[in-house]
């Protein structure tokens, strides 16, 4: 990389100006240079605000609760099973592993190094997921974190499996099906899934 | 690099709800139910328009081949530590992208400074330019920015093997968190060939076998840690060294490529025979 034009100290610049002004400056420069367009900005924002989101994950979970063969496929080959539901996953940028909660095992997802998250099924991550407070504590004291921050008291007999998302392989939790939902349709089951349960900071089923 | 971003296991960041190190609106969430977007909460991936704009800057930077995903992550990691901890999340992105666009001479430093000052003074305007085919081209470019080509090779380790994590502290980018270095884990699965971030972040595309490796909490955090917690990470082959069977003075660096269970698969006493 060239040192040529780096006569600007990025950190000094960032301390001088708010992020919105810096983002708008980059946007205008990239549009002028033909690297970005007005409609591309609109399309990209609309994709993340409207097309992808945690409802995709809820549909996957409800199908797995309703169809044991689908559940088996989901745990064996998550990408294949997810795309069966017409959910778009770009395999070049993300692989997905689904991990299943049971009465004796609980899974929790984190990215200690940045903010990796299975956004194709859950949308973009909530702010708390991206904070040092969550990232630091999830791998060291997950039981205390869940109790203190999410009101989730896990019996000490329940083994917690923390998944630190260090690669482009992303994790989604398949929660347990809540009791008393035996008569619900798949569409009704979708409403019983929470985003937080698919991260593992919420636990359904007990 | 042993940077501020590598926070796994650090203490003192306080509550998710009140610590204020991220000024975004929905930081306060001590009640998972009330803020869950599938339980009546709002799903707002971007709190303000400029955050979504920043996401499109990321797509443009990767999609035009200016930088790859590992160079982007490393650029954020190079932020001043105090700013890393206090900046809003998408401010970290703007900072990381600014650095990449300047270092590659994609934008001119003086233009950037002058333009930013104009927007900060309320005098900037974003030009309108339509290019309907661009968004598809950018998506294809982003896919390229995530993957390196490389020859597949036989994985050195197999499920069930004990491994030790290298005690390395590279100046550059790595996805081997500090908290697992020098500890011992167990290979859970071979994940296939993945781009090696340590090389890719510095313009040297390479792929390596990736493994899911599991660690007991007591191995990571000491005897006082919860015995019923395991932490798993996906780690590249060059982060790992075989654990010598008991009785061997040194791990055999050549062993384990094709000799299956013989030799270095375990450190348990009965595994030495």
Stretch A4-20: mean pLDDT = 83
Token pair 């509550």 is found at B15
Average pLDDT over residues A165-193: 96
Of all residues in chain B, the one with the smallest CA distance to A99 is B232
- A19-48 burial code (b ≥16 CB/10 A, e <16): bbbbbbbbbbbbbeeebbbbbbbebbbebb
For residue A198, what pLDDT band results from cuts at 50, 70 and 90? very high
CB contact under 8 A, A53 and B7: no
DSSP assignment of B145-167 equals: HH---------S--TT-EEEE--
CA A21 to chain centre: 28
Residue B32 has pLDDT above 50, yes or no: no
At B264 the pLDDT is 45
Task: Confirm or reject contact between A40 and chain B (CB < 8 A).
Answer: yes
At B175 the pLDDT is 98
The whole-number pLDDT of residue B233 equals 98
A115 is an active site residue: yes
Report yes or no: A104 at the B interface, CB cutoff 8 Å. Answer: no
What residue in B sits closest to A29 (Cα-Cα)? B107
Cβ-based neighbour number of residue B133 at 10 Å? 10
**Interface contact flag, A131 B60, Cβ < 8 Å:** no
Residue A5 neighbours by CB distance under 10 Å? 18
Average pLDDT, chain B: 86
Test the B interface: residue of A51, A90, A132 with most B CBs within 10 Å: A132
How far, in Å, are B125, B171, B190, B246, B252 from residue B267 at the CA level?
65, 32, 20, 6, 14
* Shortest CA distance from B128: residue in chain A: A38
Summarize the confidence of residues A13-27 as an average pLDDT: 97
pLDDT at A6: 47
For CA atoms A42, A50, B76, A131, give the dihedral sign: positive
Element (H, E) at A159: strand A159-164
Distance from CA of B185 to the nearest CA of A (A): 14
B26 pLDDT band, cuts 50/70/90, is: very low
CATH number of the domain at B162-272, out of 2.30.30.50, 2.60.120.380, 2.40.40.20, 3.40.50.720?
2.30.30.50
**Tens of pLDDT along B63-85?**
999 999 999 999 999 999 999 99
Is residue B249's pLDDT more than 90?
no
CB contact under 8 A, B130 and A33: no
The distance of B249 to chain A (nearest Cα, Å) reads 32
Cα(B102)–Cα(A62) distance, rounded to whole angstroms?
47
Contact list, A3 vs chain B (CB under 8 Å): 103
What is the reported pLDDT for B44? 86
Domains and CATH numbers, chain A: 10-50 (no CATH), 53-199 (3.90.330.10)
Q: What pLDDT does residue B237 have? A: 98
Q: Assign domain B25-146 to a CATH class.
A: mainly alpha
Q: How many Cβ atoms sit within 10 Å of the Cβ of residue B167?
A: 9
Catalytic residue among A111, A136, A165, A167: A111
Closest Cα partner for B84 from B27, B177, B24, B3? B3
Residues 68-87, chain A, touching B (beta carbon < 8 A) = none
**Is the separation of the CB atoms in B143 and A42 below 8 Å?**
no
CB contact under 8 A, B76 and A169: no
B273 Cβ contact list (under 8 Å, min separation 6): none
Closest approach of chain B CAs to the CA of A69, in angstroms? Answer: 23
pLDDT value of residue B3: 96
- In this prediction, residue B17 carries a pLDDT of 55
H helices within A106-193, ranges in order? Answer: 119-122, 132-138, 142-150, 186-190
Q: What dihedral do alpha carbons A105, A206, A129, A139 form, nearest 10°?
A: -30
Asked if the C-beta of A182 comes within 8 angstroms of chain B's C-beta atoms, the answer is: no
Q: Is it the case that residue B149 has pLDDT exceeding 90?
A: no
B40: left (phi over 0), alpha (psi -120 to 50) or beta: left
- Mean pLDDT for A108-128 is 95
The verdict on whether A66 is a catalytic residue reads: no
Which position among A114, A136, A167, A185 bears the catalytic label?
A: A114
Residues of chain B with CATH 2.30.30.50: 162-272
Q: Is A165 a catalytic residue?
A: no
Of B26, B66, B98, the CB nearest to A22: B98
- 8 Å CB contact of B90 and A19: yes
Q: Which residue of B has its CA nearest to A53?
A: B43
Tell me if chain B has a CB within 8 Å of the CB of A195: yes
Q: At residue B121, does pLDDT exceed 60? A: yes
Report the relative pairing of strands B229-236 and A169-174 from DSSP bridges: unpaired
Q: Which residues of B touch A136 (CB under 8 A)?
A: 7-11, 13
- Which own/partner contact pairs does B255-261 have at CB distance under 8 Å and 24+ positions apart? B256/B156, B256/B157, B256/B161, B257/B154, B257/B156, B258/B154, B260/B158
Residues in CB range of B146: below 8 A, 6 or more apart: A92, A93, A168, B62, B68, B69, B195
Respond yes or no: is residue A111 known to be catalytic.
Answer: yes
């Amino acid at each position: 990389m060239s040192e040529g034009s780096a006569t600007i100290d990025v950190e000094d610049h960032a301390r001088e100006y708010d992020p919105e002004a810096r983002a708008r400056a980059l946007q205008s420069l990239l549009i002028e240079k033909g690297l970005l367009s007005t409609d591309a900005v609109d399309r990209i924002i609309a994709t993340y605000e409207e097309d992808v989101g945690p409802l995709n994950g809820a549909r996957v979970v409800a199908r797995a609760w309703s169809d044991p063969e689908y559940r088996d496929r989901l745990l064996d080959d998550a990408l294949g099973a997810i795309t069966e539901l017409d959910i778009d996953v770009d395999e070049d940028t993300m692989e997905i592993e689904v991990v299943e909660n049971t009465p004796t095992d609980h899974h929790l997802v984190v990215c200690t190094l940045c903010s990796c998250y299975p956004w194709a099924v859950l949308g973009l991550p909530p702010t708390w997921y991206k904070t040092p407070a969550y990232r630091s504590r999830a791998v060291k004291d997950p039981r205390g974190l869940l109790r203190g921050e999410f009101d989730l008291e896990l019996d000490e007999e329940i083994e917690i499996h923390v998944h630190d998302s260090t690669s482009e392989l992303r994790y989604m939790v398949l929660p347990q099906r809540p009791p008393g939902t035996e008569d619900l349709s798949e569409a009704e089951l979708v409403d019983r899934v929470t985003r937080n349960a698919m991260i593992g900071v919420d636990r359904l089923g007990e | 690099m042993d940077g501020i971003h590598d926070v796994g296991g650090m203490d003192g960041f306080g509550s998710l709800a009140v610590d204020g190190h991220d000024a975004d609106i929905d930081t306060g969430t001590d009640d998972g139910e009330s803020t869950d977007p599938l339980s009546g909460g709002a799903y707002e991936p971007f709190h303000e328009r400029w955050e979504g704009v920043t996401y499109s800057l990321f797509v443009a930077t990767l999609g035009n081949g200016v930088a790859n995903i590992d160079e982007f992550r490393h650029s954020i990691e190079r932020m001043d530590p105090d700013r890393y901890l206090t900046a809003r999340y998408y401010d970290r992105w703007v900072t990381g992208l600014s650095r990449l666009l300047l270092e590659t001479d994609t934008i001119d430093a003086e233009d950037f400074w002058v333009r930013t000052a104009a927007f900060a003074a309320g005098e900037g305007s974003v030009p309108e330019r339509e290019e309907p085919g661009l968004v598809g081209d950018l998506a294809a470019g982003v896919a390229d920015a995530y993957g390196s080509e490389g020859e597949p090779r036989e994985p050195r380790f197999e499920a069930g093997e004990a491994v030790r994590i290298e005690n390395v502290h590279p100046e550059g980018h790595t996805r081997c968190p500090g908290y697992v270095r020098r500890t011992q884990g167990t290979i859970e699965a071979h994940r296939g060939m993945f781009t090696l971030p340590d090389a890719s972040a510095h313009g040297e595309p390479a792929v390596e076998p990736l493994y899911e490796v599991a660690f007991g909490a007591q191995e990571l955090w000491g005897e006082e840690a919860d015995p019923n917690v395991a932490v798993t990470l996906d780690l590249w082959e060059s982060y790992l060294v075989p654990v010598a069977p008991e009785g061997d003075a040194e791990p055999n660096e050549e062993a384990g490529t094709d000799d299956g269970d013989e030799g270095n698969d375990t450190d348990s006493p009965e595994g030495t025979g």
